[in-house]
Structure 1
Amino acid sequence: MSAAPARTIQIHDPTLRDGHHAVRHQLDAQQLRGYAEAANAAGVPVVEVGHGNGLGASSLQVGRALLSDDEMLATVREALTTSKMAVFMLPGWGTVRDLDDAVAHGVDLVRIGTHCTEGDLAERHLEHLRERGVEAHAVLLMSHMATPDGLAEECARLVGFGATGVGIMNSSGHYLPGDVTERITAMCAAVDVPVMFHGHNNLGMAVANSVAAAEAGASILDACARGFGAGAGNTQLEVLVPVLDRIGFDTGIDLYKLLDAADLAERDLMTAPPAVDSVAIVSGLAGVFSGFKTRVIEVSAREGVDPRDVFFALGRLQAVAGQEDLIVDVAQTMARAAAEKVSA
């Protein structure tokens, strides 16, 4: 009896975008070029590049990048001879002008991200990209804050705005596989465009969650070399690809060259691979954006409070990316409460 034909799934690699969070957006042109060339050689279909928060986000609030968007795009575009180049944008950081600049640099795919209940914010940008004839996907962040049906409804609305693909990010690493299955199943039933899943590894479940997404019908999975990314990192690319192969999915990626790319990433891009440490675990349990980790640790140390308490407090407030100022407010409130308790 012949084996069943492999199911095709596409891997998108945001190592050079999401990984930027882990190094304060300080990758230089040589680092970008080296990894892009290695990913291209391995046959990774799509390589995403940019500031960790996307086009136009380089700022004092979330970190100034070493290179401008134009410099990053020009460098990576030159290195990608077969792989497609993608960018990410959050409305409010990036603008239509940023999108047009990216298109001028030869970007193949644009992802527009919004909070999971605020897809309407992407309408103008998706319509603009549709008019420009650019492939545009819509991505819902902090997706654990919405129900499966709620995500499905948002995705259907986004397709109406012009999205040629939709997806969810497990921005806090909060999901277990059953959570992913419910959401991807609902989304796939609601739209007739490709569905994507982007996992974070706070609870050590990123690969398992990505497999659950694939089995539930997702046709695009995000993963980064060595899991390079904010906090505990993302789904580990060089682990996910052979796991998918073992369960019958074809990625079209050369394993040995992918392993070479991962070795290069660990050697040249990061001081150390992401780790599922105590603070990352609490971030996942609290459902707080992984990118808050470094800032929470810094502010908590300054104010003399426990960063784990800060994360759980931020979770109760349902803090989302872009609300970094809340970290200071929460930590200072805790410090004052502790001081008042001592003096009482």
Structure 2
Amino acid sequence: MTLSDEGPRRVVIHDPTLRDGHHAVRHVLNREQLSHYAAAADAARVPVVEVGHGSGLGASSLQVGQAALSDDEMLSTVREALPNSKMGVFMLPGWGTTRDLRRALAHGADVVRFGTHCTEGDLTERHLGFLRDAGVEAQCLLLMSHMADAERLAEECRRLAEFGASAVGIFDSSGHYLPPDVTERVSKIVEAVDVPVIFHGHNNLGMAVANSVAAAQAGAGIIDACARGFGAGAGNTQLEVVVPVLERMGFETGIDLYRLLDAADLAERELMPAPPTIDSVSLVSGLAGVFSGFKTRVLDIARREGVDPRDIFFELGRRQAVAGHEDLIVDVAQELRSVRA
């Protein structure tokens, strides 16, 4: 275990329940739901609570789903409910713009995260420069990180840190990793940078908690997790599970366990029709290495075109589809239908 001889090592928990969870409910969380959960997470001393459309600032659209609330409404609601915790936001360059960043900062965002495809970290350079000049904490994560080897990920993260990122890391966007995969990649990144390393897991193969623990053992200082695993596809690392597991292993999170359990219970009651499960389609998504957030759209299009959603996922995997390639789902479904006609 990567723990200091001086005592337990601190791990910062970053909670994107109110952002990533939006993928699971077609982006329709309302003000009351956002406010109630944010207040519960704040009471539990969760360090950072992230909020927004599932695909981040400026992403509400017909292509990836229209949110029930605007970015302004979501941010103002959650900011009021967080007297202690930091408020985080997420942005995919291309979906969001500097104008969206300015509005998020005006609403009191404390932590801004950027996500790019695992080999395209350069897309964040201009935005990182803007936030550096504004004196705001900016973090960068590499999406679909299983599509690059450990050395390439470490090099991308090193450059992101040089651009000004205060923390860097990887998303297991499709829930494809096993613990040794995480250990290898996080260890390489930790060696390459002098800023905290982030790990964000998805649970398509049932490995999210184990992968998050492997990341912490390998030196990651920031671990993402959602209440009841609320998130795209099979869900994310389960917050109320990974925190006590990390604590039992000797890491410190600073989170109040009972209040965290209360927040998770509230999330299950108020945010979701049911907690995420590893169903057949989510499992195939993980095996195929396809973005978990495609699940709802794949199911809708498969039903409409009369094809098997599992076939769509495996074909998307063969084509190395990534977030932003939503239009490819329709093309694949129609081609599969024509083949079977």
* TM-score computed with the length of structure 1 as normaliser: 0.97
What is residue 327 of structure 1 aligned with on the other side? 329
Q: CA-to-partner distance for each residue in 1:259-305, whole Å, 9 max, x for gaps?
A: 00000000000000000000000000000000111111111111111
1:203 aligns with 2:205: yes
Q: Aligned match of 2:142 in 140, 143, 149?
A: 140
Summarize the alignment of residues 196-275 of structure 1 with structure 2, pairs less than 5 Å apart. 196-275=198-277
What is residue 190 of structure 2 aligned with on the other side? 188
Letter of the structure 1 residue corresponding to residue 246 of structure 2: L
| SS of corresponding position for 2:13 | strand
What is residue 115 of structure 1 aligned with on the other side? 117
What is residue 176 of structure 1 aligned with on the other side? 178
Q: What is the alpha-carbon distance in structure 2 between the residues aligned to residue 146 and residue 169 of structure 1?
A: 12
For residue 167 of structure 1, report the CA deviation from its aligned partner. 1.1
Moved over 6 A (4+): none
Of all paired residues, the percent bearing the same amino acid is 74
For residue 7 of structure 1, report the CA deviation from its aligned partner. 1.6
Q: Which runs of 5+ in 2 are unaligned?
A: none
Summarize the alignment of residues 38-187 of structure 1 with structure 2, pairs less than 5 Å apart. 38-187=40-189
What is residue 342 of structure 1 aligned with on the other side? none
Q: Aligned match of 1:283 in 282, 285, 293?
A: 285
Q: CA-to-partner distance for each residue in 1:98-154, whole Å, 9 max, x for gaps?
A: 101111111110001100000011111011100100000011000000000000000
Q: What is the alpha-carbon distance in structure 2 between the residues aligned to residue 92 and residue 6 of structure 1?
A: 40
Q: What is the alpha-carbon distance in structure 1 between the residues aligned to residue 195 and residue 8 of structure 2?
A: 20
**Greater CA drift, 304-313 or 259-268:** 304-313
How large is the RMSD of aligned CA atoms in angstroms? 0.9
Letter of the structure 1 residue corresponding to residue 333 of structure 2: A
Letter of the structure 2 residue corresponding to residue 328 of structure 1: V
Q: Which runs of 5+ in 1 are unaligned?
A: 340-344
| SS of corresponding position for 1:8 | coil
For residue 4 of structure 1, report the CA deviation from its aligned partner. 7.2
Q: What is the alpha-carbon distance in structure 2 between the residues aligned to residue 289 and residue 216 of structure 1?
A: 24
Q: CA-to-partner distance for each residue in 1:74-99, whole Å, 9 max, x for gaps?
A: 01011001100000000011000110
Q: What is the alpha-carbon distance in structure 2 between the residues aligned to residue 251 and residue 159 of structure 1?
A: 24
Letter of the structure 2 residue corresponding to residue 329 of structure 1: D
Q: What is the alpha-carbon distance in structure 1 between the residues aligned to residue 105 and residue 303 of structure 2?
A: 43
* TM-score computed with the length of structure 2 as normaliser: 0.98
Letter of the structure 1 residue corresponding to residue 155 of structure 2: E
Q: What is the alpha-carbon distance in structure 1 between the residues aligned to residue 133 and residue 329 of structure 2?
A: 40
Q: CA-to-partner distance for each residue in 1:55-74, whole Å, 9 max, x for gaps?
A: 00011100111111011110
Letter of the structure 2 residue corresponding to residue 21 of structure 1: H
Q: How many residues align?
A: 337
